[in-house]
Amino acid sequence: MNKAATFMLMVFLLTGCAKKHHEQNRIKVASVGNKMLYFDQIPKLIKPGISSADSTTIIQNYINSWAKKELLFLKAEENLTDDYKSEIENQLQETRDNLFIYQYQRQLMEEKMDTTVTGEDMESYYATNEKKFTLNTNIVKALFIKLPLEVPNLDKIRQLSRSTQQKDLQQLEKMCYQFAEKFDDFNEEWVAMSRLAVELPMDIVNQDEFLRYNQWFETKDSSSVYLITFRDYRLRYSLAPYEYVKNDIKSIILNNRRFEFLQNLENGIYNDGLKANIFKTY
């Protein structure tokens, strides 16, 4: 790059000029064939604290990289066979068409498609499509506590963890915030048993048996005590609880509406084209 261009680069860096000029006033940096690179097309590559020499090097590297890409494109454009050029043009046209169609569909869905899904909608879908909601994993509602091995008041914590009384659970929460390494009720929502199992210091060989015979579970290792209270569970291959799948149901309903909306849109435009004699076959 010549001295004048280097000087202009430094002015650009020191002033932080990001303002775009009119075409006749834009500062030229480099060119490849008929393609021109201007100052305002160079990304903001320079971070505070970088020296002027390093800044110049960074931008020069960007310009060189731009030139290599443009020269490669120029060489490819000159030497590609007509068949390859035709294939590229077809792909570009198809991509352009698809983008126009996608954005038009998206615009119409935002303007006209009903996106409100009520609880009644979801419950109705759940009731009429129960076979679609078979669990593929065991799920639980549980309380998990991990405590230091020498924790004080372990008996009290154990007793409170097995209670269903709100006042007991509030007291338990206060004690666990004081002593526990981990305390989690999973927001009282259904979670996969595997998510809980990874917290334990041993493997659960048979989850089904484990859940059937353990309303409460306690174990320990060399440093910690682990307590689990199971509030409820569902085994794999059984019907998933509505609460566990309601977000999925909402997505399914919306996807069904999108599919129906787009089908009706496509068919409507097709029929309009026939009526208006825009579409013809020969």
Q: Give the model confidence (pLDDT) of 154-187 as tens digits.
A: 999 999 999 999 999 999 999 999 999 999 999 9
- pTM, two decimal places: 0.74
Residue 220 is inside which H or E element, if any? strand 216-220
CATH architecture of the domain with residue range 135-234? Roll (3.10)
Q: Give the model confidence (pLDDT) of 18-37 as tens digits.
A: 445 456 688 888 999 889 99
Measure the CA–CA gap between 28 and 274, rounded to whole angstroms: 53
Q: Is-contact 48 13, C-beta < 8 A? A: no
SS3 label, residue 143: strand
Structure tokens at 84: 């390859």
Rg of the chain on CA atoms, in Å: 33
Measure the CA–CA gap between 146 and 95, rounded to whole angstroms: 55
SS3 label, residue 239: strand
| Domain positions in the chain | 3-79, 81-107, 119-129+240-275, 135-234
